[in-house]
Homo-oligomer: A and B are copies of this chain.
Amino acid sequence: MTAMRTISQDRFGGPEVLHEVERPRPEPGPTEILVRVHAAGVNPVDAKTRATGYLLGELPFVLGWDVSGVVEAVGFGVTLFRPGDEVFGMPLFPREAGAYAEYVVAPTRHFAPKPAALDHPHAAALPLVGLTAWQSLVETAHLQAGQRVLVHAAAGGVGHVAVQLAKARGAHVIGTASAAKHDFLRELGVDEPIDYTTADFAEQVRDVDVVFDTVGGDIGVRSVPVVRPGGTVVTILGNTLPALAEAAAGREVRAAAVLCEPDRLGLTALADLVEGGALRTELDAVLPLAQAGKAHELIESGRTRGKIVLTP
């Protein structure tokens, strides 16, 4: 059995629990592909799962839900891809991870052809945040041209993709970030950058159709008054949904929480936007796989601009 390098953990804790371990290279089952990882995206949900188990229960495990790479082998019954194809996508989120490694196995339809316009690190930055933004703004909030959308943490991993998606759909985009990031927001397509650090955003914004909360805490609840009747607040911090739903009830505002699901329909839509020049991913840092702990320190600092990516 061929071995491969992985970043594994056998206890929950800080970034220091991440360490290099050799594991057997997985084999693709029926309908699955084996992908040689050229780059693996790092997401806040990785850090949460590292620290608490969150979506993955049993130790030891290998984190990593964002992949860009090359198909190494295909399982029984697979015809969509062949060895050598460049692909991007996700393993069986949320039940399995494994992209902090040289190889990862995934259902074939959790992947799509990598956009030629992106190199592997930029493509690895896209699946989880891109599907999260797509499934929140398009499939849940049904964002339309001409609507007003407020994106919280618009310079963050999910936020910076959400801004571009909203802009590509013809929406008027309001985005929050500290003033130092407002030039970046404008580059992404934000029409109205809001500095949430000097004044309450709720006093600077009104009559929006859709609020996208990528922050959590009380941001969702505090956003309800800025939404017009019939509008929607979507959060990706599901633990805030009960309070959000309570605040939204009686104000004719819809409250929803989204956890992204791997889906090639969404991946293909994202790839089309990339190829059309309407979407790009911003990298804050590209680190070698062995520095996964450093990557987690960065992602937990909350001060990144764009995404962190690991390369085996």
> Interface on A for B, CB 8 Å cutoff?
29-31, 55, 76-80, 93-95, 107-109, 135, 139-140, 234, 238, 256-265
A80 to B140, CA, bound (A): 7
Assuming A76-B238, A256-B79, is B108 touching A261 (CB within 8 A)? Answer: yes
What residue of chain B has the Cβ atom nearest to residue A108's Cβ? B261
Instruction: Decide: B30 and A55 in contact? CB cutoff 8 A.
Output: yes
Complex Cα distance, B209 from A279, in Å, reads 39
Q: Residues of B contacting A256 with CB < 8 Å?
A: 79
Q: Which of A77, A258, A259 is packed against the most chain B CB atoms within 10 Å?
A: A77
- Which 6 A-B residue pairs are closest in the complex by CB-CB distance? A77-B259, A79-B140, A31-B261, A79-B256, A265-B265, A30-B94
List, sorted by A's number, 16 A–B pairs whose CB atoms are closer than 8 Å: A29-B94, A29-B95, A31-B94, A77-B259, A77-B260, A77-B261, A78-B259, A79-B139, A79-B140, A80-B139, A109-B261, A109-B262, A109-B265, A263-B264, A264-B265, A265-B265
Which residues of chain B come closer than 8 Å to A265, judged between CB atoms?
A: 109, 264-265
Main SS class of interface, A: loop
What's the number of copies of this chain in the assembled complex? 2
Q: How far is the CA of A55 from the CA of B31 in the complex (A)?
A: 11
Measured between C-beta atoms, what is the minimum distance from A112 to chain B in Å? 11
Residues of the B chain whose Cβ atoms lie less than 8 Å from the Cβ of A79: 135, 139-140, 234, 256-258
**B77 & A109 in contact (Cβ 8 Å cutoff):** no
Instruction: Tell whether, in the assembled complex, residue B55 and residue A261 are in contact, meaning their CB atoms are under 8 Å apart.
Output: no
**Contact across chains for A77 and B258 when beta carbons are under 8 A apart:** yes
Cα A80 to Cα B93 with chains together (Å): 17
Most buried by B among A107, A108, A140: A107
